[in-house]
Amino acid sequence: MIKIYITLLLFLFSTNVFAQVHKPIDTADYLKRKDFLKKFSTSNELLIKDLKAKYSGKTEKELSKIYKEFGEDFEKQVANKDFIFTSIFDEKAKNLIDNLRKNNPKIPKDLKILIAKDNTPNAFCLADGTFVINMGLFNWLDNDDQIAAIISHELGHNIERHSLKIFLDIIEQDQLDKITVQNIKSSAENKNKKAFDILKNRVYKKGAERRNNEMQADSLGYTIFKNSDFTKTEYVNALQKLKDFDTISPRKLKMETYKKYFNLPKQAFQEKWMKKEDFSLYNYNHYKEKLNKDSLSSHPEMTLRIQKLKQTFPELKADLQSQKPTEDFLLTEKTARMEILPNFYHSEDYGLGIYASLQFLQDNEEEQHYRKWLGKCFAKIYEARKSYNLNRYLDRVEPKDQSESYRQFLSFMWNLSLEEIKNIAEYYNTKES
């Protein structure tokens, strides 16, 4: 997840600067949250009751447990204000789904839309008809048609009931594995190898099934999409944008940026803050991978998915540029963009919030807005450092999984003393108050 968040930061520097001071979206929607939670709890109970009527024995017990635990976890997220109920986003999402529903009777009529305070471009549909769309989707994609394309894909998963099929397969495989394990225990030789073969075969099978599910959702999603008023080629363009999100490297944070924002009147910038640990002798090859990465991928390479779509639907073969967004979409995109820092703050990703703020400031974008959030995040980092739980809010340096720029940032943050963090927090909070 951290890698995804860091990848996200690159695209934060391509849109226009906003002239007005942004006011974070109000999440004071107690009555709507209360009403939603009541309805969701009831619908989840009915779902579990339906599963109990259709299945029996261990399968029924395990399915009921899965959906009960998931429901409880989701309700906690709603209570924690991880979602917003009234905004420019859900109005747009409702309009797009209404458009998709016109010529697609299979789309459930009782879909409930929630907008997640999450910066990653993603969406998913729950079994009870709750459709969750991350704010980041509005920031990353180019226009309304591409948003509708991703919604169509997720509706494909929902219509095919892929999540239920996956849960059923897991339960069935667990039972088969237990029988096989008992046979291994009674064997006198090669127990470790046989045990690993079980794991390998199970993981490979799961990877193949999930890849098939993605391609199936792609095809069904496109069928839904093309039956509506949207431009057909935007379906492929949306997948291409998601591919870009998976592969673009994060933008480098320059040394000059550190010196500009941390050379304070009462605390001069110090070169020692930038000292990094030497990982040149780190032996990555020590960890030999025993499983084939291609077989383990739950999401097939987007290139292969796009190729499959073009083979199945000839009208998608031509590569066309994304359509220009409407003024209405640009307003939605701007709102999502300005919510990036409030979202990081809400999820307690204070280290990422500081990194993102510096990236924005480096490009001279919305100076007042991002200096304010820089101060707010540093204040939280100070509290965490003082109470000895900084690891919860700031990553440790991991050379194998992080970009050089992010490793440099983390080294800088961990090199700061408690007093130095306090001075930075006070400077920006006092200056922006």
Question: 366-375 in b/e burial notation, b at 16+ Cβ within 10 A?
Answer: beebbbbbbb
Residue 7 CB partners (closer than 8 Å, separation 6+): 245, 246, 248, 249, 250
Residue 381 and residue 384: Cα distance in Å, rounded? 5
When the pLDDT of each residue in the chain is averaged and rounded to a whole number, the result is: 83
Contact 139, 160 (CB under 8 A): no
pLDDT in the model for residue 302: 82
Given this model, what pLDDT does residue 29 score? Answer: 79
State pLDDT tens for residues 123-179: 998 888 899 999 999 999 999 999 999 999 999 988 888 788 877 877 776 665 555
Closest CA to 322 of 225, 231, 227: 231
Q: Is 196 part of any domain?
A: no
Cα 127 from Cα 161, distance rounded (Å)? 8
Place of tokens 């639907």: 313
Six-digit token pair at 348? 């307690």
The DSSP secondary structure of 291-352, one letter per residue, reads S-HHHH-SS--HHHHHHHHHHH-GGG-S--PPPPPPHHHHHHHHHHHHTHHHHHHHTT-HHH
What is the spatial distance between Cα 249 and Cα 9, in angstroms, rounded to a whole number? 9
Backbone angles phi, psi at 184, to 5 degrees: -65, -40
- For residue 12, the model assigns a pLDDT of 45
330 class by beta-carbon count within 10 Å (0-12 exposed, 13-18 middle, 19+ buried): middle
130-134 and 123-125 beta bridge pairing? antiparallel
Decide if 415 is inside a domain: yes
Report the candidate in 225, 218, 176 with the shortest Cα–Cα distance to residue 201: 176
Please indicate, yes or no, if residue 35 is contained in any of the structural domains: no
In sequence order, the 6+-apart residues with CB closer than 8 A to the CB of 50 are: none
pLDDT of residue 28: 64
Domain count, the chain: 1
Determine, yes or no, domain membership for 268: yes
Structural domain contains residue 116: no
pLDDT for the residue numbered 145:
98
Residue 379 lies in a domain: yes
Burial of 74 (0-12, 13-18, 19+ CB in 10 A): buried
pLDDT in tens, the chain (433 residues): 454 454 455 444 444 434 445 666 766 678 899 999 999 999 999 999 999 999 999 889 988 998 999 999 999 999 999 999 878 998 999 999 999 999 999 898 888 899 999 999 999 988 888 999 999 999 999 999 999 999 999 999 888 887 888 778 777 766 655 554 455 445 545 544 444 454 445 444 455 666 778 888 899 999 999 999 999 999 999 999 998 886 555 678 999 999 999 999 999 999 999 998 765 545 444 433 444 444 434 445 788 899 999 999 999 999 899 999 999 999 999 999 999 999 999 999 999 999 999 999 999 888 899 999 999 999 999 999 999 999 999 999 988 778 889 999 999 999 999 999 999 999 999 876 5
Cα–Cα dist 28/49, whole Å: 33
Number of H helices, E strands in the chain: 18, 4
Residue 2 maps to a domain = no
Domain membership of residue 414 as a residue range: 255-286+327-432
CA distance 396 to 238: 34
For residues 127 and 108, the answer to whether their CB atoms sit within 8 Å is no
Please report, in angstroms and rounded to a whole number, the separation of the first and last CA atoms in the chain.
33
With respect to residue 272, please indicate whether it lies within any of the assigned structural domains. Answer: yes
* SS3 assignment, position 249: coil
